[in-house]
Chain A
Amino acid sequence: MFRPVIMSLALLLGSMVMPAQAASDDSLYQALGQQQGISALMETFILEIADDERIVHHFEKTDIERLHRMLTEQICELSGGPCSYSGDDMVTVHTGMNVTTAEFNALVEDLIAAMEQHEIAVSAQNRLLAILAAMHKEVVNL
């Protein structure tokens, strides 16, 4: 009686192990509200970070306007929008910060809080979080 259950589990696992397909379309960009929506979302995100005592100290000397511009460009590009990121690469930017996984998680929570405020659908939230989670090793413990 368990054979069908186990087989469907195996199938499910198999299908999940396959790499998430690259965003060849711009549906995530649309779901985030295009250029304008992303810019507004990044503003809320930065406000959340500014309020987050777990990580705000990293941003003490940061040019916030540039950070906002760079994040907006980057998310626009990664979500399939018509932008190209002009900032420094992730490893260069975050080297020397010694960001921990707990701090990375704090930033993820701030982004989730921002996305909730902008009423972004759970499906679009998950797509964006998966893209950012893949950059974990380019940010943490450098």
Chain B
Amino acid sequence: MYGKDFAMVRVFFLIMLAVSVVPAAHAEGRLLATGGATTIEGSAGGGIVPWATLSSYAAEGEWGGTVQLNYADVEDYQLDVVGATLNYGNRLELSYARQDFSLSRLGGSLKQDIYGVKVRVAGDVIYGELPQFSIGMQHKRNQTFALPQAVGARSDSGTDYYLAATKAWLDGPFHRTWLANITLRATKANETGLLGFGGDLNNDYELMTEASVGMFLNRHWIVGVEYRQKPNNLGFAAEQDWHDVFVGWFPNKRFAVVGAYTNLKTIAGAPEQKGFYINLQVSL
């Protein structure tokens, strides 16, 4: 397992190195940090909540993209995510993420692939009165359905649909720049899909609320909180809402690092899943 992790990290740093020495014009038509970070499901946003903002710094007429690595280490589990996004014209975002969730106590792992599409439908995160609105979907394919099925999940694939609104206030409280996001998500996913979709308790779409609020200390550092409501479809173990407290560092338009302290509470019956989360992102 460590061998595999290490290889992944190495590949990632090779990519980072490669893109940072390529002098090719990279998309930079938007302001620093407006590309956000990348969620564990591959969409641009915070750590666990997709935002209305699109990945990278591509503005109208530009192509942009990101490659990223997420890693979370809580009491009994580790989550590895590798992913990439493409953004055309700050209008359309395509994303792919591969999640690998290791069960350190039980052994083995749960894996899924997530294909995402997001479209900015109205507004701009900074300019104008309205927030920026985007709609998106995340199509998820669980690659390890035996365990989810055994605990009552109904399907090995599912699609989440969401509407997100994000707004930044350049001169918010304390004369700091603030950012707030609300996302409504229709989903059947159990533990984001790692435990499959639908279950013995419920097999219908349900609407979940997710939110993030952050304050920029200066142009490079942001601190904030996130909350994600989750459904409860499986009788074998109650699923719980997630939250985290994060710090993001945006040294330039190429790199971003987000670290979070998260409490995922009880996952699949194992309580007190507290720990750290990190997201490394390179924008192209």
Interface residues of A (CB under 8 A from B): 2, 5-6, 9, 12-13, 15-16, 20, 100-102, 104-106, 108-109, 112, 122-124, 126-127, 129-130, 133, 136-137, 140
Residue of B nearest to A131 (CB): B171
A127 to B169, CA, bound (A): 10
Report A-chain residues with C-beta under 8 Å of the C-beta of B128: 136-137
Contact status B243-A2, CB under 8 Å: yes
Closest 7 A/B residue pairs (Cβ): A102-B29, A123-B175, A130-B171, A102-B59, A136-B127, A130-B170, A126-B171
Report B-chain residues with C-beta under 8 Å of the C-beta of A127: 171, 175
Residue of B nearest to A124 (CB): B175
A13 to B215, CA, bound (A): 12
Interface residues of B (CB under 8 A from A): 29-32, 59-62, 124, 126-128, 169-178, 180, 211, 213, 217-219, 225, 227, 241, 243
Q: Give chain A nearest CB distance to B179 CB in angstroms.
A: 10
A100 to B178, CA, bound (A): 24
Report A-chain residues with C-beta under 8 Å of the C-beta of B29: 100-102, 105-106
Q: Give chain A nearest CB distance to B17 CB in angstroms.
A: 26
**How many A-B contacts if CB must be within 8 Å?**
81
- Tell me the interface secondary structure of chain A in the complex: helix
A122 to B172, CA, bound (A): 12
- Tell me the interface secondary structure of chain B in the complex: loop
A116 to B69, CA, bound (A): 32
Report A-chain residues with C-beta under 8 Å of the C-beta of B59: 100-102, 105
Residue of A nearest to B127 (CB): A136
Report B-chain residues with C-beta under 8 Å of the C-beta of A126: 170-172, 175-177
> Which residue in A5, A20, A133 is a CB contact (below 8 Å) of B227?
A5
> Which residue in B30, B178, B243 is a CB contact (below 8 Å) of A5?
B243
Report A-chain residues with C-beta under 8 Å of the C-beta of B241: 2
A121 to B126, CA, bound (A): 21
Q: Using known A-B contacts A109-B31, A123-B175, A137-B128, determine if residue A5 contacts B225 with beta carbons closer than 8 Å.
A: yes
Report B-chain residues with C-beta under 8 Å of the C-beta of A112: 219
A124 to B30, CA, bound (A): 22
A13 to B218, CA, bound (A): 20
Report A-chain residues with C-beta under 8 Å of the C-beta of B243: 2, 5
Report A-chain residues with C-beta under 8 Å of the C-beta of B213: 9, 12-13
- Offer 23 A-B interface pairs, CB within 8 angstroms, sorted by A: A2-B241, A6-B211, A9-B180, A12-B180, A16-B169, A20-B169, A100-B60, A100-B61, A101-B124, A102-B30, A102-B59, A102-B61, A102-B62, A104-B127, A105-B29, A122-B218, A122-B219, A123-B175, A126-B171, A126-B175, A127-B175, A133-B170, A136-B128
Report B-chain residues with C-beta under 8 Å of the C-beta of A6: 211, 227
Q: Give chain B nearest CB distance to A109 CB in angstroms.
A: 7
Interface centre among B127, B128, B172, B213 (most CB of A within 10 A): B127
Q: Using known A-B contacts A2-B227, A2-B243, determine if residue A16 contacts B173 with beta carbons closer than 8 Å.
A: yes
Report B-chain residues with C-beta under 8 Å of the C-beta of A140: 127
A4 to B258, CA, bound (A): 25
Report B-chain residues with C-beta under 8 Å of the C-beta of A5: 225, 227, 243
